Structure 1
Amino acid sequence: MKAERRTQWLRGVLDLCVLGVLADGEYYGYAITQRLEQAGLGHIKGGTLYPLLARLEEAGLVTSRWTAGEQGPGRKYYTLTQQGNHTFKEQAGDWTSFTEHVATLIYPRGEKQE
């Protein structure tokens, strides 16, 4: 049940998390999944990530460019657009506010469970 719950929560915030990774700079798909995994979000499959990146690009939040591979296939690098950076900052603020409101219900007396 814990994995199902995590997956549901992640569906609602994965776009924001990917924008957050790209707010730090330009990354290719596998590097994005590595950053998300290092952040504790678990393994994000390419079948989830690449359609999400395509939607972000179609929305004008992300741009991409192909680079030739030195010893293997080329890589597609993704970068935030100016609009993507603005959207990320706005959504990050909204998310922070939302999680603070949820925390007041979960920990009404300021007590955090371990």
Structure 2
Amino acid sequence: MDTTQLLKGVLDLAVLAVLREEDGYGYDILRRLRASGLDEVGDASVYGTLRRLFTAGYLTTYVVPSEEGPHRKYYALNPAGRTQLTDASTVWRGFATTMNSLLDGRAAA
């Protein structure tokens, strides 16, 4: 199964989850997603997701100067983002439970 379609549906949730404990800049977030097992996530997808989540009001940003290159824009969850993470997590867990039941042959008749 091609996981790229699955990633499109859960990338917002994955990015919010990565930012739950620690703020991050674009490449750092991408690296953390890949280290978590989302190896196929693309650079452009993550940057687009960050812009979309910021525009939706779930993230704040701040710039940190760097002595070794360009300044980095960091993203952080704000209260609306934490609420969205909680709500989306609930939906995801319910969906995953349903899918697990179907795959294990325990679907309701």
What is the TM-score with the length of structure 1 in the denominator? Answer: 0.88
Give yes or no for contact 2:54–2:60 (8 Å, CA) kept in 1.
yes
Is 1:62 matched up with 2:98? no
| 4+ residue runs over 2 A deviation | 43-46
Superposed CA deviations along residues 34-85 of structure 1, whole A, max 9, x for unmatched, are 1110111114332111111111001000111111112111111000010000
Match of 1:27? Answer: 24
Supply the AA of the counterpart residue of 1:23.
Answer: R
> Unmatched 5+ residue regions in structure 1?
110-114
For structure 2, list consecutive stretches of 5 or more residues without a partner in the other structure. none
1:71: which partner in 2? 68
Q: What is the alpha-carbon root mean square deviation over aligned residues?
A: 1.1
- Look up the SS of the partner of 1:12 in the other structure: helix
Question: Contact (CA 8 Å) 2:64, 2:74: kept in 1 or not?
Answer: yes
How many residues align structurally?
106
Establish whether residue 90 from structure 1 lines up as the match of residue 87 from structure 2: yes
Residues of 2 paired with 1:40 and 1:12: CA distance?
Answer: 16
Higher helix share: 1
Identity level (%): 38
CA distance in 2, matches of 1:40, 1:47: 18
